[in-house]
Amino acid sequence: MRRFGFVVLAAVSLACGQQDGAPAPVATQSQQSTCVPPPGAETKRVYEGLKPHCEGCHVQGNRGYFASLDAFQGLIVADTRMVKAGTPDESELVRLLEGKGTGAFKQMPIGQKSYAQLVTDGTASLTMESIRAWVRELGAQQRGSEPNVDAPRITRKSANQMQRALYQQLGLVHDDFYIVGLEHNIPMAEMRDGDHLPLLSPDALPMPRQKGTEERYHGLGGGSTVRQISEDRTASPTFALTLTQVSQRWCRRALGKAGNTALFPTGTVRTANPVDVKATLRRWSLHFLGERFTDAQVEDLYTKVFVPLSTPTDTEPEYVGTCSYFIRHPRWIFY
C-alpha cells in the first residue's frame, strides 16, 4: 500500500490576535504567557538604537535579547523584571544602561564604560532621556514573571493514551492482537499476527512475549519501569514513522474486522460514491478530532487524500489512507 507523508506540526507561536477561522493560540506548559503584544514604532526605535552596542553578546543562546525585534519585545520589553512601564527608575534595563544594575551585572555593555557614558562620549546616538521617555509611555505591553494559569496548553498524547484512543476509535480490543501464551509457565501476551503491528508496554500484565511489540510502544514514546526507559513526548522521526505504520495497519484491521461499527455505524455504507465518501469524511472528522469539517475542508481532504489513493477494484486503500490521515493529524496527536 502506498504511504503518504506524516503531517508535520508547525511551530507553535504566541500571538495576541488570530485570523478568522484560525485555531486559538496555544502555548506549551513551560511558556509563561499566551500573549505578547507586537512591538510598537517607538520600541523599534529603541531596539535599533541599542542593538549596535548590545548584539555582540546578545544575539544567540538563552540571552539572545537582540536576536530580533520580536526577541527584544518578548524577552526584555514584555518582562516586568526588566522594564517597569511608566517607571524608568525601577526598570533594570535603565539601571544597567546607566551603570546602576542591581543584579550580577552592574552595567551594560560590560567593559569600562556604561551605555550612558557612551552617549556622553558621542559613541551612542540614542539618549538616555529618550529611553526613559519610552519607558514612561510604554503602556500595557507586558506580562508578569509568573506562569499564566489561564494559558491554553498543548501536549502530545502519551503512548498509553494513543493505544487506548486507537482501540476505542477503531473498534479494536486487546484480543484482536493477542492470545495468552506461556513462557516458563508464566502467562504472556503473544501476538496473533505480527502483520498488524501490535504494540504493548513491557510493564503490561501479562507482558508482551515478542520484542517487536514493546519496540513499537517505545517508538511512540512510551516509557517503562521494567526496561528503565523514560517517556518521550517529542514528535521525533521515530515517533512519526511508528505512528504512520501503526495507523495504517490498525485502520486496515478495523475496516476488515467483522461486525465492527466504529468506523461505519449501522446504516452507513463503504462505497466509492463521492456523496457517501464525503459523508464519511465529515463523520470521521468529528469521530477522530472532535470537530466537524466544513464543506471546503471535506472537499480538500477528498481531493488531496482520498482520490489519489483510489483503485479501480477496491475501496480499502482509500479508506485506510484517510483513516490514517486523521490519526496522524496534529489535532489527534496533540491536545
Write out the DSSP string of 93-151: HHHHHTT--SSS-SSSS-SSS-HHHHHHHTS--S-HHHHHHHHHT--S--B-SS--TT-
Mean pLDDT, the chain, rounded, equals 85
Query: pLDDT tier at 104 (50, 70, 90 boundaries)?
Result: confident
Q: Both 199 and 320 in a single domain?
A: yes
pLDDT band at 297 (very low <50, low <70, confident <90, very high): very high
Which residues does 194 contact at the CB level (< 8 Å), separation at least 6?
Answer: 210, 212
Of 104, 137, 170, the domain-final residue: 137
pLDDT greater at residue 1 or residue 262: 262
151 pLDDT above the threshold of 60: no
Q: What is the pLDDT of residue 59?
A: 83
CB 305 within 8 A of CB 4: yes
Helix 316-327 / helix 237-256 crossing angle, nearest 10 deg: 140
Q: Given a cut of 70, is residue 156 above it in pLDDT?
A: yes
Given a contact cutoff of 8 angstroms between Cβ atoms, the answer to whether 318 and 306 are in contact is yes
58 is in which domain, residue-wise?
Answer: 41-137
Judge if 94 and 167 occupy the same domain. no
Within 10 angstroms of residue 165's Cβ, the number of other Cβ atoms is 15
Q: Flag whether 19 is in a domain.
A: no
What pLDDT is stored for residue 24 in this prediction? 35
pTM comes to: 0.58
Question: pLDDT grade, residue 152 (50/70/90)?
Answer: low
Residue of higher predicted confidence among 75 and 260: 260
Mean pLDDT of 174-184: 93
Please say whether the beta carbons of 240 and 6 come within 8 A: yes
Q: Buried b vs exposed e over 24-47: b needs ≥16 C-beta within 10 Å?
A: ebbbeeebbbbebbebbeebeebb
Q: Are residues 98 and 230 in the same domain?
A: no
- Mean pLDDT of the 288-295 span: 94
Task: Return the closest-CA partner of residue 1 out of 273, 271, 322, 278.
Answer: 322
SS3 state at 153: strand
Q: Indicate the range of 20-29, 181-190, 207-216, 232-241 predicted with least confidence.
A: 20-29
Higher-scoring residue by pLDDT: 126, 60: 126
Q: Between these two residues, 145 and 218, which has the higher pLDDT value? A: 218
**What CA–CA distance (Å, rounded) separates 76 from 93?**
8
User: Is 64 within the bounds of a domain?
Assistant: yes
Instruction: Measure the CA–CA gap between 188 and 277, rounded to whole angstroms.
Output: 41
> Which three cell numbers, joined as nine digits, stand for 252?
486496515
- Amino acid (one-letter) located at 131: I
Q: Is residue 212 pLDDT above 60, yes or no?
A: yes
Average pLDDT over residues 49-75: 88
Q: What's the CA dihedral at 37, 42, 45, 49 to 10 degrees? A: -100
Residue 268 belongs to some domain of the structure = yes
Residue 13 has pLDDT above 60, yes or no: no
Q: What is the pLDDT of residue 33?
A: 40
How remote is the C-alpha of 243 from its chain's centroid? Answer: 16
Q: How far apart are CA 34 and CA 14, in angstroms?
A: 6
Question: Lowest mean pLDDT: which of 93-97, 131-135, 154-158?
Answer: 154-158
Pseudo-torsion of CA 97, 101, 104, 106, nearest 10°? Answer: 60
What confidence category does residue 10 fall into, taking pLDDT thresholds of 50, 70 and 90? very low
Task: State how far the Cα of 15 lies from the Cα of 252, in Å rounded to an integer.
Answer: 40
The stretch 87-96 carries a mean pLDDT of: 94
Same domain membership, residue 329 and residue 222:
yes
Quote the CA–CA distance of 311 and 303 in Å, as a whole number.
Answer: 14
How many angstroms separate the CA atoms of 134 and 197, rounded?
Answer: 61
Provide the grid cell at 265: 455505524
Within a domain: 311: yes
210 is written with which cell numbers? 515478542
* pLDDT at 3 (0 to 100): 37
The answer to whether residues 54 and 131 touch, using CB atoms and an 8 Å cutoff, is: no
259 with 326, same domain: the answer is: yes
Q: Do 190 and 244 share a structural domain?
A: yes
Please indicate whether residue 2 or residue 130 has the higher confidence score (pLDDT).
130
With respect to residue 149, please indicate whether it lies within any of the assigned structural domains. Answer: no
More confident residue, 28 or 181: 181
- Per-residue model confidence (pLDDT) at position 140: 57
Gap between the Cα atoms of 202 and 85, Å rounded = 55
**Are 283 and 213 members of one domain?**
yes
Among candidate residues 137, 172, 204, the one where a domain is terminated = 137
Q: Is the same domain home to 166 and 76? A: no
pLDDT at position 79: 87
In a domain, 206, yes or no: yes
Query: How far, rounded to the nearest angstrom, does the alpha carbon of residue 235 sit from its chain's CA centroid?
Result: 8
Give the CA distances from residue 183 to residues 188, 208, 210, 259, 332, in Å, rounded to whole numbers and listed in that order.
7, 10, 11, 33, 37
What percentage of the chain exceeds 70 in pLDDT?
84
173 and 292 assigned to the same domain: yes
Query: Does some domain include residue 230?
Result: yes
The residue with cell 505512528 is 243
Domain count, the chain: 2
Together in a domain, 234 and 172: yes
Residues 234 and 302 both lie in one domain: yes
Residue 307 has pLDDT above 50, yes or no: yes
Would you say residue 90 lies in a domain? yes
- 176 and 300 fall within a common domain: yes
Q: Which of 73, 105, 137 is the last residue of a domain?
A: 137
C-alpha cell at 273: 460514491
For the cut 90, the answer to whether the pLDDT of residue 1 exceeds it is no
Percent of the chain at pLDDT exceeding 90? 68
